[in-house]
Amino acid sequence: MIVQEFERQLLTRLAAPPGAGPVGAGLPNAEEMRVLADCMLGTGLRTEFQPVLDLRNGTVFAYEALSRGPAGSAFERPAALFSLARAHGFDSDIEMVAVRMAVERFAAAGAPAKLFVNFSPRALATRNIDGATVQEYVARAIVQIAAVAGANVIAEGVEHEADLQVVRDLGIRYCQGYLIARPAAEPRDDEALGLWRRMSQEPVVAFPVPGRNVNLVSARTLLRRVEAVSPEAENDLVFARFESEPDLPVVAVVRDGRPVGLVNRHAFIDRFARPYRRELYGRKPVSALMNEDPAIVEADMSIQEIGQLVSGGRHNAVMDGFIIVERGHYLGIGTSADLLREITEMQMMAARYANPLTMLPGNVPISEHLERLIAQGREFCTCYGDLDNFKPFNDVFGYQRGDEVIQLAARTLTEVCDPRLDFLGHVGGDDFVMAMQSADWELRCRKALELFGERIQLLFSEDARQEGGFVAEDRQGNRRRYPLPSLSIGAVPVYPETFRTHSEIAAAATEAKKFAKRQDGNSIFVERRRYPGGQFKPAQT
C-alpha cells in the first residue's frame, strides 16, 4: 500500500501545473522523472552499510545505512539525488522509502548490531518529532559534554590510523570511516575487527600539552562594566555614588563615548575628608579632581602587555586601575587586583600543564596519561627520576646553575625516550616521571644515567671534578663535602590490573625512587616484586 500511495502521489504531482510545485523548480526532464519514479517505487535506491567500531572491545556496535541513487546515473551520489528530490518536493518521501529499505535489508541480513539511519529535520517533522543535537580542543570538549549528558560520541570520517589512535585515547568509544570499512552492500565486520586487533597493540598517544597562552588572554577577561560619569558631573554626586556602592574601586570620566579621566575611590574620598574640602569642591565638576592621564587599554590587548604597562610606572595604574576601550570607545574598567589574580591563575594553570623551565608536561597531563594507560590495560614502566645532592648544589652555586642541572636532566631523559612510545613529564623542582611503553625501557634508563654522569662533569671546574664534589653546609649547619649531582631512577613495571589509579602508581614509584637514592651515584632501582596474580619476586637493581 505504501508503494502504491507513493506512485499515486508521484503521478499526481508530475501531472500538476508547474506553478503547483516548489517555487522555481519547474518540471523534471525525462531522466529526472525516471529517477524520481524509480526511487519512489524503491527500485532505483540501493542501500550500503558501514560499520561503527566499539574501540573498547573490538566489536561492531552498529551499522550506518547509506542510500545511493540508481547506479551509473548522474544521481547515484546521495547529494545529487536528494537535491533533485528536494527541488520537486519528494525529499521526505524518498527518505522514508530509503529508511524502509534499509530496515528490511538489515533485518534480512541478521547482523547482531544496531542500525543507524539518517533523517533530515524536514523528514522528522512529517512523523511530528522535534529533536536537537549537541555538537581538543573541540573533540575533548564534546567528550566532556557527552559524559555529563550521559550520551555516547561517535567519531565519523576516520580515515588514517593516526586519527584513530587519537580518537581512541581521547576516550571516544565509537568510530566510523573508510579506515574502519567502506560502505558495502551487506553488513560485514571482518575489516573492522582486523583493524581493531591491530590497533589494540599500538601505543597510547602522548597528547601535546594544552597550555594557556598568556598572549591569547585579553583585557576582556578583566572587564568590569561600570557606568561612567561626564566631566561636568558634580563631585558631590560622585561622592554619593562611592558611598552607595562600597565595592566600586574607580569611576571613569567619559565625554562623547571616549574616556578623558579616572577617579580613584580612595584618593577621592581622602581629599573630601580634609577640612572644608567638600564645601570647596562639592559643587565643582569632577574634572577638577580626576586623573587626567589614566592608563587606557584596548579590549584585545593581551594580559602580558597590560602587565608591562602597569609595571612600567608611567601611570598610576597599580593604584587606580585602568580603562578598557574598544577602538577608543569606553567599555569599562579593570583593576590591578584582577590583573594580578588572572596572571597568578594562569601561572598556576601553566605549571600544572607544562613546567615553564623545561616545557615538559606537568602534573595534570602526567596523571591523564597514566590513567589512559591503565584504562586500556597496557603494560608499561613508570620511572621516577630525581636529582641527588641538588639542594646543597643549589645553595652553593645559585638557582641559575641549579636550573642548568635540571635542564640537563630534562634533555638527557628526552633523548633516551622514544616519542612514539614513551611519555616524559616534569613534576616540578628536580623530579621527573616517565611512562615508558618501550620494551627496552630499562636499557634506556641506564643509558640516561650514563649520559647524565658524563655531562654533569662539564658543569664543573677541573678542580671540582678532580675532587669529585663540592663543600656546602648540611641541614644542621655543618660544612661537609657532597658528591657531584647525580640522577636516581625508581622504576615500577605496570601490568594490567596491578594498579587501579595513577595515585597508586605514583606511590609505588616514589617508594622505588627512595631505594634508588640509597645507592651512590647515578643509579636505578627496579621494583620487580609486584606481579599479576599476587606473585612476588626478590627485588633486584
Tell me the HSE value of 158 on the side-chain side, using a 13 A CA sphere: 27
Are 541 and 506 within 8 A, CB to CB?
no
Q: Which three cell numbers stand for residue 7?
A: 506512485
* Domains in the chain, CATH or no CATH each: 1-202 (3.20.20.450), 215-343 (3.10.580.10), 354-534 (3.30.70.270)
Beta bridge partners of 46: 68
Query: Quick check: helix, strand or coil at residue 508?
Result: helix
pLDDT for 325:
93
pLDDT for 211:
44
For residue 170, the tally of other CB atoms under 10 A from its CB is 17
Tell me the HSE value of 16 on the side-chain side, using a 13 A CA sphere: 14
Q: How far is CA 515 from the centre of its chain?
A: 37
Query: Quick check: helix, strand or coil at residue 196?
Result: helix
Q: What is the pTM of this model?
A: 0.48
Are 272 and 289 within 8 A, CB to CB?
no
Smallest CA-to-CA distance from 249 within 334, 365, 327 is with: 334
Pairing status of strand 258-264 against strand 250-255? antiparallel
Are 226 and 324 within 8 A, CB to CB?
no
Are 422 and 436 within 8 A, CB to CB?
yes
Query: Quick check: helix, strand or coil at residue 330?
Result: strand
DSSP state of 389: T
Phi, psi of 166 (to 5 degrees): -65, -45
- In DSSP notation, 406-470 reads HHHHHHHHHHHS-TTTEEEEEEETTEEEEEE--TTHHHHHHHHHHHHHHHHGGGS-HHHHHHTEE
DSSP state of 358: T
Number of DSSP helices (H) and strands (E) in the chain, helices first: 20, 17
Query: Quick check: helix, strand or coil at residue 155?
Result: strand
The beta-strand segments (E) located in 352-396 are 380-388
DSSP state of 234: B
For residue 31, the tally of other CB atoms under 10 A from its CB is 13
Are 153 and 143 within 8 A, CB to CB?
yes
How far apart are alpha carbons 299 and 321 in whole angstroms?
14
How far apart are alpha carbons 13 and 29 in whole angstroms?
14
Are 44 and 35 within 8 A, CB to CB?
yes
pLDDT for 533:
40
Are 114 and 62 within 8 A, CB to CB?
yes
Region of residue 452 (phi > 0: left; psi between -120 and 50: alpha; otherwise: beta): alpha
pLDDT for 5:
52
Are 390 and 402 within 8 A, CB to CB?
yes
pLDDT for 130:
30
Contacting residues for 520 by C-beta, under 8 A, at least 6 apart: 483
pLDDT for 128:
32
Ranges in the chain, pLDDT < 70: 1-28, 119-126, 128-151, 169, 200-202, 205-216, 310-319, 347-353, 530-541
Q: Which three cell numbers stand for residue 163?
A: 586519527
pLDDT for 19:
41
